[in-house]
Structure 1
Amino acid sequence: MIDIEMSRNNDLQNQFRKNICNEIFAVDKNIRFVGIVNSEGEVIEGGFRKGIEPLLDQNEEQDMYLQSLSNISFFQSFSEKFGSVDYLMIRQKKITMITFPYRGEIICISASSQSDIDRIRDETVKIILL
């Protein structure tokens, strides 16, 4: 009985995560990647938009997610003085990445430079606060 309940809760949680990723993708067609990343740096939900080729190989991506986790954790260590971390943003020539802390995990978003990154950020905040 307990296994069935745990399985049902996991299914609901996975569906909830999938819905979040889909809602974020719907914000802007220039979003390349949306992923929920666990504490080991593994993408547990989401991925690249259909038809988008990753710019990094799998090991480089894993390193980037681990660094994103580390960055969030580092800045959260100052929360008592600065307040909680809402998001971190990195803008480069080809892409902009936004990382949000989310329930002990992080949400990573990668968008092309042509995107309205402020709108993506603001809409994502609304989605994850629901």
Structure 2
Amino acid sequence: MMKRGESFDDLRIKLFKFSRELRYAAVLDKNGRIVSGGMRKGVKALEPKEEELRLMAHVVSESIARDTWDTYFGKTIYTIVRRENVILMVFQGKKQLIFITAEPTFGLEKIAIVREMLGQNIQYD
């Protein structure tokens, strides 16, 4: 769990120590800008650098689109997308999104541990 006064970069290091399968962890604002975080050292991005902004915009727009269903299903806590080459996780807070990617071998049971590690970093309503 994130301790008071701990930066997201400190937490990102802990996440990367928790699992070598985690590739990327960043805090995004509601406009898709990276506030903090980034790729694990030595890991190459799967998408070209010029697509990064479009990817972040997509993550945010998908998050906003899910909000329209809150009335019926409740607020989104997190979203998981499993693709052939990567697992994408979006943890939705009140003021920011936490976007994490992992290798396809990352076990779904580990997602609960990641969420617990994020702890107080995500401000819910």
Question: Does TM-score exceed 0.5, indicating one fold?
Answer: yes
Out of 17, 25, 41, the position equivalent to 2:8 is: 17
Deviation, structure 1 residue 77? 2.1
Deviates more, 1:77-86 or 1:15-24: 15-24
**May I ask how many residue pairs the two structures share in their alignment?**
117
4+ runs of 1 displaced by more than 4 Å?
A: none
Deviation, structure 1 residue 98? 0.6
Question: Percent of pairs identical after alignment?
Answer: 17
Structure with the higher fraction of residues in helix conformation = 1
2:77–2:93 contact (8 Å) kept in structure 1: no
TM-score, with normalisation over the residues of structure 2? 0.82
Whether 1:94 aligns to 2:85 is yes
1:43 to 1:69, Cα distance in 2 relative to 1, 3 A: same
Out of 55, 64, 73, the position equivalent to 1:82 is: 73
How far does the alpha carbon of each residue in 1:96-115 deviate from its partner, in whole angstroms, 9 at most, with x for none?
A: 10111124111111111122
Taking the aligned partners of 1:34 and 1:72, their CA distance within structure 2 comes to: 17
CA-based RMSD: 1.8
Deviation, structure 1 residue 91? 0.8
Structure 1: where are the runs of 5+ without partners?
1-11
* SS of 2:102 mapped into structure 1: strand
Deviation, structure 1 residue 94? 0.9
